[in-house]
Amino acid sequence: MVKGEIPAKKIYENKNILVIEDINPKAKIHLLIFPKRHTASSINQNAADQAVGEVFAATRTLARKFKVEKSGYRVVVNHGSDAGQSVSHIHFHFLAGEKLKDI
């Protein structure tokens, strides 16, 4: 998706991150935020990597774009198959647009 080899509906992009719609949404608004630099999972993330900061900057942009900055949104990262990580590239789920179930 980051390389453009897999079709995806792009919502937002800058030089370091890509945001697309999830093809199997779990909420009214379900977006995936990918750092473009490949990292397999959160455990491989370097603390000095600026991409994570950019991910959270993008969540603010998305919250304003979808008008959920006041009603709320959830950001989730899964690590490993037991947590539901099905793509071997770190990504964050942005969920919003409705009352979300407690976790």
**Residue holding tokens 């994570």?**
52
Instruction: Return the number of other C-beta atoms located less than 10 Å from residue 11's C-beta.
Output: 19
What value does the CA radius of gyration of the chain take, rounded to a whole number of Å? 13
Residue 95: closest CA among 44, 27, 20, 2: 27
- Asked if 52 contacts 45 with a C-beta cutoff of 8 angstroms, the reply is yes
- Asked if 73 contacts 51 with a C-beta cutoff of 8 angstroms, the reply is no
The residues annotated with a catalytic role in the active site are 91
